[in-house]
A and B are shown apart, each in its own frame.
Chain A
Amino acid sequence: DTVLTQSPALAVSPGERVTISCRASESVSTLMHWYQQKPGQQPKLLIYLASHLESGVPARFSGSGSGTDFTLTIDPVEADDTATYYCQQSWNDPTFGAGTKLELK
């Protein structure tokens, strides 16, 4: 299985720029996707194929990367962005990162 490694938690102030990283144990080309999950809710797709913004998702969210290193950027961060963010690869059987919990100061 392709292992995805994410930093466990981040704390930022509203209005700041935050980058959430995801590193794959092998190259996944651009087959990387990002989801947001708020407490008690199902995951929501934000970014697909590394950099494509899902319809209806605010342009404050963006994604970049290829190969093994990927980044989700939120700029500027808003209070409603408090959530856990997961990366997911689809180069082979789908696997998810452990999630990065974003907290607002």
Chain B
Amino acid sequence: EVQLVESGGGLVQPGRSMKLSCAASGFTFNNYDMAWVCQAPKKGLEWVATISYDGSSTYYRDSVKGRFTISRDNAKSTLYLQMDSLRSEDTATYYCARRSPFQVFAYWGQGTLVTVSS
């Protein structure tokens, strides 16, 4: 069974940093591209970033370019999202997702809430 378990969320002040993790199991992690998708409270879904199966390619939405960094450790079957210079508008639940061909998000974790507030 595919499992994705996010961790690392919480309350952080504007301008500070936070690093999210996503532990994967139930599939061969290094065979799949992975992504982060966020959802602000009571709002819709927004793609944040994608990383290729081997970590060689990364893609970001414009609003997080230069501030967020997606990475992975295939030996640990873990996906990361380093978030720097956080803003109040980054407040959201962050989901880790396994990317299938054609950028379909077939599996999702339960999400971790990040609240950016002073």
Known A86-B45, A97-B44, A98-B44; judge A42-B108 contact (CB<8 A): yes
* SS class, residues of chain A in contact with chain B: loop
Q: Mark B24-47, 1 if CB is under 8 A from A, else 0.
A: 000000000001010000001111
- State whether B47 touches A48 (Cβ < 8 A): no
Known A96-B44, A99-B44; judge A42-B95 contact (CB<8 A): yes
Which residues of chain B have C-beta atoms less than 8 A from A90's C-beta?
Answer: 102-104
Known A48-B100, A93-B59; judge A43-B105 contact (CB<8 A): yes
- State whether B103 touches A94 (Cβ < 8 A): yes
- State whether A88 touches B105 (Cβ < 8 A): yes
Total residues of chain A contacting the partner, CB 8 A? 22
- Chain B nearest Cβ from A10, distance in angstroms: 16
Interface residues of B in 30-85 (CB under 8 A from A): 35, 37, 44-47, 59, 61
Q: How many pairs, one residue from A and one from B, have CB atoms within 8 Å of each other in the complex?
A: 53
Which residues of chain B have C-beta atoms less than 8 A from A96's C-beta?
Answer: 44-47
CB-CB nearest in chain B for A48: B104
- Chain A nearest Cβ from B45, distance in angstroms: 4
Q: How far is the CA of A33 from the CA of B44 in the complex (A)?
A: 15
- State whether B46 touches A49 (Cβ < 8 A): no
- State whether A49 touches B102 (Cβ < 8 A): yes
Most A CB atoms within 10 A — which of B45, B108, B110, B111?
A: B45
